[in-house]
Amino acid sequence: CVSKDTDVLLTVAPYACQRQTPLTHQNSEIIDALEKLGKAAALRGSEVRSLAFTRAASVLKSLPIRLQSADQAKNLPFCGGHCQTVIQEILEDGVCHEVEALQTNEQYQCMELLTSIFGVGVHTAERWYKDGVRKLSDLDDPNIKLTADQRAGVTHYTDLQRPVTREKADRVQHLIKNALHRFVPDLEVTMTGGFRRGKQQGHDVDFLITHPDGEALSGLLKKAVDWMDSQGLLLYHHTRVRSRVQAHRRNVPMDGHETCYAIVALPNLDTSKAGAGVGSDVTFPGARAWRAVRVDLVVTPYDEYAFALLGWTGSKHFERELRRFSWHEKNLSLNSHGLYSTEKQCSIPATSEEEIFALLGLQYVPPQYRNA
Ligand code: TTP
Ligand code: MN
Ligand code: MN
Ligand code: MN
């Protein structure tokens, strides 16, 4: 039995961290459908189903060719079963019926709206939905308690929904560096997240901050944030200081670094309207001299910098796959603080992303190919 050409050609490594995933790909319609179904599953609380769709979509993102048939994909990792139906429908009809049905699914639409608010997760959205919340204005009800994050998220909802362009991200970077360098002139500030992966727009701007001298970092975030606040540059901030416990525990799941989730008032380039400062004209956006932009600031000790850089560059799925690979294939625990061998009970240091990939026995994947 001779296999068809296509069967031979289409091979994809099982873990996203073992392959290159560029920003643009050949099968966008199929990938969009799979990602929508993945999101719908997550909004229903089915994490396992959601992950299955996310994995299938990610595999197709690394394919160098446009699929001609569902059959061509059937032996690719995670692309069997349900995924086959989705591919077939898109290729034959141009639409997937399950995805179409989501457009008229009130619960899905509502959950999508509510979880798009800064500070609102699936759990909160579900509770609100059960309590009858259907649109943003329903949240004005005094019986609904909002956290400070959520309050800010609702207040600046329209601005935060608009994608942040690279040009705006660069201006945010300038503003953030200016604030930080007032306190430590030679501080290292790196833009991470989607922009480091080459995206042209994002939902926020992420920064990683470090310095070889740990003393220079002590109390820095608070000082810089307070200064920006005093200048009217901050619409909201939530600064989380690293606790002693977290600081000494290596295998915390996500992040124990000193972190600031902020909403910056980015001044508009058109200065003719300057003078209308923060809070002056919230009800007339056209007259405002600024626009709200979500910013994440993370401070990392110098010896953890490479791990933090790798951990905050993403994509989220790439990170999840790196950790899964480390754990299941190498018996090592990886997070944004370090690499830990549970067997030998010691952490393994590294000073660059290249070194971390090498320690894991992986070929280096540059940021622009981590769009899994
Ligand atoms: P995001 O900023 O959420 O995503 P992104 O930059 O890839 O895309 P977008 O354009 O929509 O902003 O997260 C960036 C990385 O930061 C992600 O890989 C995971 C990491 N991260 C943490 O480590 N801890 C956290 O609490 C969050 C929110 C993100
Ligand atoms: Mn981001
Ligand atoms: Mn972010
Ligand atoms: Mn740490």
pLDDT given at position 243: 57
171: nearest Cα among 274, 293, 286 = 293
**344: domain CATH number?**
3.30.210.10
Q: How far are the Cα atoms of 144, 166, 343 from residue 222, in angstroms, in the given order?
A: 31, 26, 38
Q: Please give the share of the chain, as a percent, with pLDDT higher than 70.
A: 89
The answer on 289 and 178 residing in a single domain is: yes
Is-above-0.90 flag for pTM?
A: yes
Beta bridge partners of 305: none
pLDDT-derived band of residue 257, with 50, 70 and 90 as boundaries?
A: confident
Ligand 2 centre distance from Cα of residue 191 (Å): 9
Residues 351, 311 share a domain: yes
Q: What angle do CA 288, 293, 299 make, to 5 degrees?
A: 140
In this predicted structure, what is the pLDDT of residue 252?
46
Q: Are 297 and 312 contained in the same domain? A: no
Range of the domain at 349: 307-369
Ligand 1 near 320 CB (within 6 A): no
> Is the pLDDT score of 5 beyond 60?
no
pLDDT-based confidence at residue 254 (cuts at 50, 70, 90): very low
CA 258 – ligand 4 centroid, Å: 10
Query: Any idea which residue has 């945010």 for tokens?
Result: 172
Q: How far is CA 104 from CA 98, 101, 109, in A?
A: 11, 6, 8
Q: Which of 138, 155, 172 is the C-terminal boundary of a domain? A: 155
- pLDDT, residue 3, reads 46
Query: What is the model's pLDDT at position 329?
Result: 98
Which one of 162, 197, 296, 310 would you pick to mutate in the ligand 1 pocket, going by the greatest count of ligand atoms within 8 A of its CB?
Answer: 296
| pLDDT category of residue 270 using cuts at 50, 70 and 90 | confident
Helix 28-43 with 122-130: angle, nearest 10 deg? 60
What's the CA gap between 70 and 52, in Å, rounded?
17
User: With left for phi above 0 and alpha for psi between -120 and 50, is residue 246 left, alpha or beta?
Assistant: alpha
365 in the same domain as 288:
no
CB of 203 shorter than 6 A to ligand 1: yes
Looking at the fold, whether 240 and 194 belong to one and the same domain comes out as yes
Q: How far apart are CA 193 and CA 190, in angstroms?
A: 10
- Could you tell me which of 147, 140, 209, 148 has the C-alpha nearest to residue 180? 209
Any domain includes 106: no
Residue 321 beta carbon below 6 angstroms from any ligand 1 atom: no
The domain tally of the chain equals: 4
Q: Decide if 179 is inside a domain.
A: yes
Q: Examine the domain organization and report whether 297 and 332 are in the same domain.
A: no
Task: For residue 296, report the distance from its CA to the centre of ligand 3, in Å.
Answer: 5
Average model confidence (pLDDT) for the chain? Answer: 92
Which pLDDT tens digit goes with each residue over 209-225? 999 999 999 999 999 99
Residues 47-67: tens digit of each pLDDT:
999 999 999 999 999 999 999
Distance CA(61)–CA(136), nearest Å, equals: 34
Ligand 1 atom having least distance to the Cα of 294: 12
Indicate the annotated binding residues for Mg(2+).
Answer: 204, 206, 296
| pLDDT beyond 70 at 124 | yes
The percentage of residues in the chain with a pLDDT greater than 90, rounded to a whole number, is 87
Predicted confidence (pLDDT) at residue 247 exceeds the cutoff of 50 = no
pLDDT in tens, 311-333: 999 999 999 999 999 999 999 99
Cβ atoms of 333 and 325 within 8 Å: the answer is no
d(CA 78, CA 285): 46
Please work out whether the CB of residue 259 comes within 6 Å of at least one atom of ligand 1.
Answer: no
ipTM attached to this prediction: 0.94
Region 349-354: mean pLDDT is 98
240 lines ligand 1 (CB under 6 A): no
Contact 202, 231 (CB under 8 A): no
Binding residues: 204, 206, 296
